[in-house]
Amino acid sequence: MKIIHFLKKTIHIFFLATLTLLLVSCSLTSTNENDSYLNIPDPNFEQALIALGIDTEEGLDGQVLRADVEKVRVLDLNLPDGSFEIQDLTGIEGFVNLTTLKAIQHEIESIDLRSNTLLDTLYLQGNLLQEIDLRINTNLVDVNLSSNEIYTIEGLTELNKLKKLDLSWNFMKTFSISNTSIETLFLNLNELQTLNVSEAENLKALNLTTNNLTDLSVSSNTQLKTLVISNNSLQQIELSHNPELQYLYASSNAFTNLDVSQNQKLVDLRVDRNPSLSCITIKEGQEILTIVRSEYQEIRNDCGE
């Protein structure tokens, strides 16, 4: 009897052990299968991936093979027929080797790019973004976020390779950037009241058309070549520290005086529609190829006379 009891107990233990191994194996297999796929909840996003030949499986199933997206370095979602209006870019986190992302004129309200650390080019203009965090994307060089609804952007200080940033047509009221790498900055058609570019020492082009600026300092931006500040409320600006300046567009402001006598490389000056600006100071012998001014504005060597 003892032998029979022992055999029964041994068989029972063996059965439980076998069952446990089977369950663990099934669980691991299920997990591995799930890990092989990436969730793509937006059918338009998935349809775009199919059209681009990235999603290699037939039909819309709300997922894509990770192995397929991990090969992608450039993702351009601006398809010729414009038929896919993407609202949700969930799944973009699986594109871990992505260096370029273009998703223009869609309906994207938010985006998480924390997993896309290799990105150097980001074009998201014409969406519905209100804010964006780029702190992890330190390889970014060229960023275009124009024509959104952005009022705040995080992480610019960490972007030490950033060369060009376009935030035009947004809702920025205050903006500051301290990157020494930045060369081109577009902030046209925002609601800017204050702007600090004093630590953007290598800035070459600054475009600020149509904002609410009453004060602006560019004295630290000694490499500046293009300054577009039309349609603001500026009364004065100091340009003696900008010897490289070639293009100055300052129409439709509230200037009371303007001195460009130290800007010997200036080739294009536009200062019309400044009702309180009657005299512009230009150095004797200074040749500026294009000057656009109102009929009541005169050019003199010394407007203090």
Q: Which two tokens stand for residue 148?
A: 């959104």
Residue 277 lies in a domain: yes
Report whether pLDDT(100) > 70.
yes
Asked if residue 165 belongs to a domain, the reply is no
Residue in this structure with the two tokens 């972007």, named with its chain if needed: 159
Query: In the predicted model, is pLDDT for residue 83 greater than 90?
Result: no
- Same domain for 304 and 196: yes
The pLDDT, as a whole number, for residue 282 is 96
- Does residue 84 or residue 279 have the better pLDDT? 279
The alpha carbon of residue 118 and the mean position of all alpha carbons in its chain are separated, in whole angstroms, by: 15
**51 phi and psi angles, rounded to 5 deg:** -60, -30
> Is 177 inside a domain boundary?
yes
DSSP 8-state class, residue 10: H
**pLDDT value of residue 229:** 98
Which of 4-18, 115-129, 243-257 shows the lowest mean pLDDT across its residues?
Answer: 4-18
Is position 161 within any domain?
no
3-state secondary structure of 50: helix
Flag whether 164 is in a domain: no
Number of H helices and E strands in the chain, helices first, is 3, 20
The structure tokens listed for 213 are 């600026």
| Domain range for 82 | 38-156
DSSP 214-233: S----TT-TT--EEE--SS-
Tokens 């398809």 sit on residue: 79
What pTM was computed for the model?
A: 0.87
Question: Mean pLDDT across the stretch 252-272?
Answer: 97
Same domain assignment for residues 66 and 182: no
Query: What is the number of domains present in the chain?
Result: 3
- Residue 299's contacts (CB-CB under 8 Å, 6 or more residues apart) are 279, 280, 282, 291, 293
pLDDT at 3 over 70: no
pLDDT of residue 276: 95
Residues 181 and 258 in one domain: yes
Q: Is residue 249 part of a domain?
A: yes
Residue 185, pLDDT above cutoff 50: yes
The Cα 131–Cα 124 span in angstroms is 12
Q: In which element (H, E) is residue 258 found? A: strand 258-259
Q: Which of 121, 156, 191 is the last residue of a domain?
A: 156
CA dist 230 → 3, 22, 188, 274, 293 (Å): 100, 73, 9, 10, 13
Query: Mean of the pLDDT values across residues 39-63?
Result: 93
Question: What pLDDT, on the 0 to 100 scale, is given for residue 272?
Answer: 97
Whether residue 152 sits in one domain with residue 70: yes
**pLDDT band at 82; cut points 50, 70, 90:** low
Domain boundary among the residues 156, 184, 206 is at: 156
Residue 294, in any domain of the structure:
yes
Asked whether residue 8 carries a pLDDT value surpassing 50, the answer given is no
Question: Does residue 289 share a domain with residue 233?
Answer: yes
Query: Within this chain, do residues 12 and 134 fall inside the same structural domain, yes or no?
Result: no
Instruction: Name which of 4-8, 165-169, 256-260 the model is least confident about.
Output: 4-8
Dump pLDDT digits (tens) for 197-215. 999 999 999 999 999 999 9
Do 30 and 76 belong to one domain?
Answer: no
Clarify whether residues 68 and 146 are in a common domain: yes
- Look at residue 123 and tell me if it is in a domain: yes
> What tokens were used for 110?
């938010």
Separation of alpha carbons 125 and 147, rounded Å: 5
- Residue that is last in its domain, among 156, 184, 216: 156
Q: How much is the average pLDDT of 14-35? A: 44
Structure tokens at 288: 């500026």
Query: How crowded is residue 121: how many other Cβ atoms within 10 Å of its Cβ?
Result: 17
Q: How far apart are the first and last CA of the chain?
A: 125
Average of per-residue pLDDT across 62-73 = 96
Assess whether 20 and 42 both reside in one domain: no
Indicate if 24 and 57 belong to the same structural domain: no
Output the average pLDDT for the chain.
Answer: 90
80 pLDDT higher than 50? yes
Rounded distance between C-alpha atoms, residue 226 and residue 7, angstroms: 91
Residue 28 scores a pLDDT above 90: no
Give tens-digit pLDDT for 118-170: 999 999 999 999 999 999 999 999 999 999 999 999 999 999 999 999 999 99
Q: Which sign, positive or negative, has the C-alpha torsion 233, 238, 241, 244?
A: positive
Mark whether 206 and 149 lie in a shared domain. Answer: no
Judge if 212 and 125 occupy the same domain. Answer: no
pLDDT of 33 higher than 80: no
- CATH number (domain holding residue 212): 3.80.10.10
The helix/strand/coil state of 69 is helix
pLDDT for 5: 45
What band does 34 get if pLDDT is binned at 50, 70 and 90?
low
